[in-house]
Amino acid sequence: DGYVYNIKHAEKYIEKGSKEVWDALDEVIEGKYVLLNRAPTLHRLSIQAFKPVLIEGKAIQLHPLSCSAFNADFDGDQMAVHLPITEKAQAEARELMIPSKNILSPASAEPIIAASQDMILGSYYITVVDPKGVGTGKVFGNKEEVIVAYEAGAIGIRSFIKVRLNGELVETTYGRLLFNEIVPEGLGFINETLNKGAIKKLLSRCFEDLGSEVTAQFVDDIKNFGYKYSTISGISISKDDMIVPSDKQELLNEASEKVKYIQKQWWAGFMTEDEKYNQSIKIWAQVKNVIEGKMKELFHYDNHIFNLIDSGARGNWGNVTQLCGMKGLVASTTGKTIELPIKSTLKEGFSTLEYFIATHGGRKGKSDTALKTAQSGYLTRRLVDSSQNIIVKEDDCGTIYFKTIVRGEKTGNFEEKFEDRIYSHTLANDVVSADGKVLLKKGDVIDTQALNILNANGINSVDIRSVLTCETEGGVCKKCYGLDLGANRDVEIGCPVGVIAAQSIGEPGTQLTMRTFHSGGVAKEGGDMAQGLTRVEELFEARSPKVVAEISD
């Protein structure tokens, strides 16, 4: 509107922070998208487009559902904001990069825009059944009667009741009726306890049946619903929620006696130092497992810590074992497990010696986070560098080769679910039932519907097209690759599948190293998470193993 004469003058105006500047910014920003990026950019979804809203204050406010894709939290994370300038760049941001168009993870086809923490806790609290609830077993003719009864205090929000819905008598709770008000039409009546896994499955089903826009709206409704009812639930935890098993001391005394016996054997020269070390560690690991089992039995549905873990909102039984079972064995910075266990819990408090043993674990967590995160980032870079040329080049390479996947077959010491191994692949041959009926034809893509058919007919092996047998030169073909997991549709020609694969391996690698830090360096049976990263690296580098096996006779 002509406030200034030239650009230089405009710059001064902005520095002064005049009121007109904000009005002008408001006008300019209309309909524009900005890109948000959180370092480290480990996969495609670490950069997404958003419609900005101008606010007072100097902090970016981010939608809670977008956090999991960025792996962001609100403890001081920093993000970069970029403005796409040209119309073409704006269109690209709008069409391809907004969160509602990126609901599924390109690595696993699971919803990455997923409810977490309080959203899950609220949905769980409202849909779980209270067996001692007020008015349990009452029968109602319709929803309205249930509302009246609840407002009059005749039933609890989590009490099991019977209510007539669409001419059928359904056993449910008032809380579940409330949740079903936000469920989109087409998903039916949801009558189960909603924990993290159940909500994930529900969102996957919604995406498949009703598309991304309905799913985006539904997950947003779950967020609001969860926040509301987690507030109403008033769930908090105190020291009294942490129950220490009464026979813990007996179990520890037994284990101490066994370890003393092993020490005596060693002193007498009946076993080597390594045998003594391994057997001692085995005894303490076993006793910790027994204490954890006994401790779990003491937690019930009315315990708030149990609610937090059972819902999947936060924490795991490993955390609770440290609080009210025993901290157990910790690993030193070298990755070797220290022979002396920490017998106390965090609730009881450590002795001086235990405190100093625990510092080893804390230091291991810190050093792993600092050193291994860089190593993991470097692995991702090398993977991207070696696979970036692999793109989808053609529709069908016409290969006659295929892979046969058998149910229950182990790959190394790792057993992956049959369904996960074949999902999204193209069939290389017809699938025929025991009575000779063709269930699925050659060339069909295995989606959720196809999986249901295979499971219903007890099919235990299928032949699939694989990128390992693809004959396209300098890339792969659509048939051998299968579905684009991030969009749940056929992969398009030109899709950079090599980079997607590299990022899908590199991103969880970085998360692995962060996890040792959060567990306080507690030694795990089955090895160290950061060691897992070293092993992954060895597999890709095709190095000769560090320990050379002796050739047996």
- Same domain flag for 227 and 248: no
Is residue 85 situated within a structural domain? yes
Residue-wise burial string across 235-245, b where 16 or more C-beta atoms lie within 10 A, e elsewhere: beeeeebbbbb
Q: What is the CATH number of the domain that holds 424?
A: 3.90.105.10
| pLDDT tens per residue, range 64-116 | 999 999 989 899 999 999 999 999 999 999 999 999 899 889 988 888 988 88
- Same domain flag for 254 and 358: yes
Is residue 452 situated within a structural domain? yes
Is residue 108 situated within a structural domain? no
Contacts of 146-151 spanning 24+ positions with Cβ under 8 A: 146/174, 146/177, 147/174, 150/174
Q: Is residue 297 scored above 60 in pLDDT?
A: yes
Contacts of 89-92 spanning 24+ positions with Cβ under 8 A: 90/32, 90/33
Tell me how many degrees the CA angle 492-495-499 measures, rounded to the nearest 5. 150
Average pLDDT along the chain: 88
**Tokens linked to 9:** 């003058």
Kindly indicate the confidence band of residue 119, based on its pLDDT and cuts at 50, 70 and 90: very high
Fill in the amino acid letter for 471: E
pLDDT of residue 488: 85
- Same domain flag for 245 and 351: yes
| pLDDT tens per residue, range 325-361 | 899 998 888 878 899 999 999 999 999 999 999 998 8
Q: Is residue 311 scored above 80 in pLDDT?
A: yes
- Same domain flag for 271 and 357: yes
Domain count, the chain: 4
Query: Is the model more confident about 50 or about 17?
Result: 50
Query: Is the model more confident about 361 or about 439?
Result: 439
Q: Is residue 417 scored above 50 in pLDDT?
A: yes
For residues 296-303, give the mean pLDDT.
89
Residues paired with 414 in a beta bridge = 411
**Tokens linked to 64:** 């809670």
Is residue 524 situated within a structural domain? no
Within a 10 A sphere around the Cβ of 499, how many other Cβ atoms? 20
Quick check: 42 and 510 in contact, CB under 8 A?
yes
> In terms of residue numbers, what domain contains 458?
391-495
Kindly indicate the confidence band of residue 228, based on its pLDDT and cuts at 50, 70 and 90: very high
Q: Is residue 290 scored above 90 in pLDDT?
A: yes
Mean pLDDT check: name the lowest of 138-147, 282-291, 336-345, 511-520.
511-520
Query: Is the model more confident about 364 or about 1?
Result: 364
| pLDDT tens per residue, range 164-201 | 998 899 999 999 999 999 999 989 999 999 999 999 99
Q: Is residue 551 scored above 70 in pLDDT?
A: no
| C-alpha closest to that of 119 among 207, 203, 5, 17 | 203
| pLDDT tens per residue, range 204-222 | 899 889 988 999 999 999 9
Quick check: 330 and 361 in contact, CB under 8 A?
yes
The order of strands in the sheet holding 47-50 is 47-50, 34-37, 80-82
H-helix or E-strand containing 404?
A: strand 403-406
DSSP symbol at 522: B
- Same domain flag for 96 and 122: no
pLDDT of residue 372: 75
pLDDT of residue 414: 62
**Tokens linked to 404:** 């046969």
Query: Is the model more confident about 224 or about 542?
Result: 224
Q: What is the CATH number of the domain that holds 217?
A: 1.10.274.100
Is residue 110 situated within a structural domain? no
- Same domain flag for 205 and 271: no
Q: What is the CATH number of the domain that holds 343?
A: 1.10.132.30
- Same domain flag for 67 and 180: no
Q: Which of 469, 495, 521 represents a domain boundary (last residue)? A: 495
Q: Is residue 27 scored above 80 in pLDDT?
A: yes
Cα separation, 359 vs 375, whole angstroms: 24
What's the pTM? 0.82
pLDDT of residue 531: 64
- Same domain flag for 359 and 250: yes
DSSP 125-165: HHHS--TT-TTTT-EESSHHHHHHHHHTTSS-TT--EEEEE
pLDDT of residue 12: 86
Say what percent of the chain tops pLDDT 90.
Answer: 60
* 3-state SS, residue 429: coil
Q: Which of 449, 470, 495 represents a domain boundary (last residue)? A: 495
All residues at 6 or more sequence positions from 527 whose CB lies less than 8 Å from its CB, including other chains: none
First to last CA, the chain: 91
Kindly indicate the confidence band of residue 409, based on its pLDDT and cuts at 50, 70 and 90: confident
pLDDT of residue 553: 46
| pLDDT tens per residue, range 467-483 | 999 999 989 999 999 99
For residues 27-49, give the mean pLDDT.
92
H-helix or E-strand containing 80?
A: strand 80-82
Residues paired with 170 in a beta bridge = 163
Quick check: 478 and 392 in contact, CB under 8 A?
yes
Is residue 386 situated within a structural domain? no
Q: Is residue 302 scored above 50 in pLDDT?
A: yes
pLDDT of residue 529: 52
Q: Measuring CA to CA, how many Å separate 166 from each of 19, 23, 163, 170, 185?
A: 58, 54, 10, 10, 14
Is residue 413 situated within a structural domain? yes
Q: Which of 495, 511, 546 represents a domain boundary (last residue)? A: 495
Say what percent of the chain tops pLDDT 70.
Answer: 93
| pLDDT tens per residue, range 519-540 | 666 666 555 555 677 778 888 8
DSSP 220-289: HHHHHHHHHHHHHHT----GGG-PPPTTHHHHHHHHHHHHHHHHHHHHTTSS-HHHHHHHHHHHHHHHHH
Q: Measuring CA to CA, how many Å separate 2 from each of 9, 30, 526?
A: 11, 20, 70
